[in-house]
Structure 1
Amino acid sequence: MSPQLLAMVLAPLLGLFIVCIGNGFISSLTTLRLDAAGESAAIVGIVSSSYFVGLTIGAMFNDRLIIRIGHIRAYSGFASLIAVTVLLQGLYYDAWWWAALRLINGWATVGVFLVVESWMLLAGDQKARGRLLALYMMALYGSGMLGQLGLGEIDAWGTASPFMAAGLLASLSVLPMTFIPRITPTVERSEPLLPKQLIHMSPSGVIGCFGSGIAIAAVYTLLPLYLQRIGLDVTEVGQMMASVILGAMLLQYPVGRWSDHQDRQTVLIALSLFCLAISLAILLLPSSQLTLMVLLFLLGGGIFAIYPVSVSHAADRAPAGALVRMIQGLLLINSAGCAISPLLISSLMTRMGDAGLFWCFSALNLCLVMLFIWRRQARPAPVQVAPFTAATPTSLTGAELRVTDDLVQGALEHELKEDLSDVVPGIDVAEPILEADKA
């Protein structure tokens, strides 16, 4: 990567890293503080769900604001709202008040993601976007893991100090965006496909994205509650959450390479079975803290890999002209799963006990296995044409980062092959296309 390109993306990456350190521990701390105040799992679920509802709303509408006022001003406004909401959380406690603040926080947080992703999307050409996305994911996961590791020490500062620290980090994240010289990009709005169209294109992609949204939201919001209720202190909860994020970061690439050489529906079935087995192991096997950390590491890697493999599978079946719109629609499906997850699973935890979280994970992954097998039988595997690209479900514009030249060319060749096969059965157009290119 050239120094000029790195200089162009340095400011948004630094800003993202700083603000996400605070976000990394505030999400877990909110759950832990609600539980310490004696709130039920249902109330914890409502407050947690509010954040993801805000995230979904922002994913649909925040790009309009960025187009109107520009990246730097939009980022400054979103970061300021994040700072205000977390500071207000520290000033006054009330579960419903916190739910409203978390809603606004989610709306502002996805705005930050949208600014950073669209900036990086337009900073380089197609050949550099894969590396830019890798840097983005390193900043996102690395900051989240760092925030979780510091959770215990930060919580020991006092009642309001952790919220002050998160507000301070959100405010400081504006400095790189305003002080480091750069050229700001422009954003063009694109409407996502409707759910009905997505289901027609790729039922398995929709199922996987929705199911992964349910699981990922439960990991971020309800897993800290479970860990605290089984007797871990705040420091140990942070370490366990950090192991989940580390697993998500390290296992995406090998799973992605596997999905490039294997039918992706088979990979989705295997991932769901793997998550089912890990969830049951946590429930049924006696385990030490070290064993639990290893199991959570593996569970995080499996759960977080389902979304990008589902997106890549859907891209295999999408017409070239609908790729970006399709990925945006799948992101909204994922966000909808995130929004309902804390409400649904927390109510089941209230009835079944704290272990209900992993019974829900087990039931969810069992349903995914059955649905993926059903779709596998209903529709045979296509030729692999869309190379896997690691993806983080955050915002709409960021979805365009996953559309590579190989993906577009592969989809065009696959679509042309299907069209000509209807006229001349058995025809193989892949080689003629390559010969034409050589000529």
Structure 2
Amino acid sequence: MLQVLASAWALLLGMYLLMIGNGLQGTLLGLRGELESFTTLEISVVMSAYFVGFLFASRMAPILIRRVGHVRVFSALGSLISAILILYPVLPEPWVWALARVAIGFCYCGVYITAESWLNDAASNANRGKALSLYMVVQMGGIVTAQWLISLNDVAGYAIFIIPSILVSLSFAPALLSATQTTPEFGAIKPLPIRRLIEVSPLACAGMFLLGSVFAAQFGMSAVFGTRAGLSESEITWMVSLTYLAALLSQYPIGWLSDHMDRRVLIMVLSALGGGVALLAFVLPGPLWLTLVAAAVVGGTSNPLYALLIAYANDFLEREDMAAASAGLLFINGLGAIAGPLVVGWMMDAMGAQGFWAIIAGVMIALAVYAWWRMRAAPQKPIIGERTTYAPIPAAASSVAASEMPTERKVA
């Protein structure tokens, strides 16, 4: 662990500051959009737009890196992020924010890909798993820190938008100043057709699509739900913070269970638990403690499911196909994330703030039912070789990060 910190501390510090900026703009736009009298549909489109940009960048950013290099891509995209963050309060129009969110989603994905390939190069085969764990802690820590910065500032003012712009600008200094003259080589990932992925693991593909909508609801619509439900800014801060803290704390025990039991059973149980608690929050609106518990349980089950589904799919693939499969699964997850805010926004228009929990409950219960059905349809599905080891891949990781992380076979 100390070796990883010594070799990658500057990059990890930069990512921490970047995630504060991203965590701020995710929650902040929901709160500010309400103050600007945006409709639920308009806010939903704004939130979905981020994932459109993210999806495009997952395909295009590697091409840019191979063409002009890591440092130039890192610097160019970072400067755009900083400028866009200041643009939001200057032009508070839904269509401007939507276009800005497409651009900032593209930029953040490009920055993640660049930084994660640097991190992968700084780590060795022996400590790459530890590097991934640190990266996950840094990402979650940055998002949680962002929520508390929101509670200390005026959402109606300009300063709260300037702060993330400054932090993003500062985040590149340690990473760029510590970069060596020879940045890592960036190879193309051999694609794996989506049809082939579905044939290998229908459960992993369906699960990643459904989880995309859950992540998008948590990341983009939690603040909108909190405002519509009458929560104060500090209560919304607690809600979002608990979502990510629970995700961080639950990764490792769930990862251990994943390596010692039938992963389909674990997928079913986690989905049913998250969906059941969300359903309880839907039918019993009002109590703050139930809202906070529901946020924590959904965060603590949905985020580990992300890595669990990737590990499950890898159990049925040859080693040389695992990188492409991870990238393909994250692409499917991105498609679900684009749809998520739109569906949640439509449901909140139809039935009020509680529509937020209705969609999350419905999606997670649907995943649990599908996992149960797959166990009945293919009770003895053969694993290729040995089971792969669970890796705690964060939900905000890019496709390149997932494809470059360790995919070791677990020897029974």
Question: Shorter-normalised TM-score: what interval?
Answer: over 0.9
Q: Quick one: which of 155, 158, 161 aligns to 1:160?
A: 158
**1:16–1:112 contact (8 Å) kept in structure 2:** no
Q: What amino acid sits opposite 1:165 in the alignment?
A: I
**2:323–2:404 contact (8 Å) kept in structure 1:** no
User: 1:371-410 counterparts in 2 under 5 A?
Assistant: 371-381=370-380, 382=382, 385-393=387-395, 394-406=397-409
Q: What amino acid sits opposite 1:169 in the alignment?
A: L
1:174 to 2:210 alignment: no
Q: What amino acid sits opposite 1:328 in the alignment?
A: A
Task: Encode CA deviations 1:94-136: one digit per residue, 9 max, x unaligned.
Answer: 0110100010000000111111111111222221100100111
**C-alpha distance in 1 between matches for 2:242 and 2:402:** 26
User: 1:39-58 counterparts in 2 under 5 A?
Assistant: 39-58=38-57
Gaps of 5+ in 2: none
SS at match of 1:126: coil
Gaps of 5+ in 1: 411-429, 431-439
Q: What amino acid sits opposite 2:44 in the alignment?
A: G
Report how many residues are paired.
Answer: 407
**1:130–1:401 contact (8 Å) kept in structure 2:** no
**C-alpha distance in 2 between matches for 1:6 and 1:186:** 22
1:262 to 2:264 alignment: no
**1:72–1:177 contact (8 Å) kept in structure 2:** no
Q: What amino acid sits opposite 2:232 in the alignment?
A: D
Q: What amino acid sits opposite 1:397 in the alignment?
A: V
User: 1:135-284 counterparts in 2 under 5 A?
Assistant: 135-155=134-154, 158-180=156-178, 182=180, 184-284=183-283
**C-alpha distance in 2 between matches for 1:110 and 1:191:** 19
Measure how far apart 1:306 and its partner are. Answer: 1.5
1:319 to 2:318 alignment: yes
Aligned alpha-carbon RMSD (Å): 1.7
Measure how far apart 1:251 and its partner are. Answer: 0.6
**C-alpha distance in 2 between matches for 1:398 and 1:96:** 31
Measure how far apart 1:181 and its partner are. Answer: 5.2
Task: Encode CA deviations 1:45-93: one digit per residue, 9 max, x unaligned.
Answer: 1000000100111111101111222222211111111111111112221
- Which residue is 1:132 aligned to? 131
Task: Encode CA deviations 1:191-226: one digit per residue, 9 max, x unaligned.
Answer: 432211110111011011111111011111111111
**1:193–1:326 contact (8 Å) kept in structure 2:** yes
**2:319–2:407 contact (8 Å) kept in structure 1:** no
Aligned-residue identity in percent: 29
- Which residue is 2:75 aligned to? 76
- Which residue is 1:332 aligned to? 331
Task: Encode CA deviations 1:270-307: one digit per residue, 9 max, x unaligned.
Answer: 01110111112212336643343233112210111211
Measure how far apart 1:140 and its partner are. Answer: 0.4
Q: What amino acid sits opposite 1:395 in the alignment?
A: S
**1:259–1:267 contact (8 Å) kept in structure 2:** yes
**C-alpha distance in 1 between matches for 2:101 and 2:307:** 26
**1:28–1:220 contact (8 Å) kept in structure 2:** yes
Task: Encode CA deviations 1:390-427: one digit per residue, 9 max, x unaligned.
Answer: 112321210134333336xx6xxxxxxxxxxxxxxxxx
**C-alpha distance in 2 between matches for 1:287 and 1:251:** 26
**C-alpha distance in 2 between matches for 1:76 and 1:395:** 18
**1:126–1:405 contact (8 Å) kept in structure 2:** no
**1:117–1:397 contact (8 Å) kept in structure 2:** yes
Measure how far apart 1:23 and its partner are. Answer: 1.1
Q: Larger deviation: 231-240 or 95-104?
A: 231-240
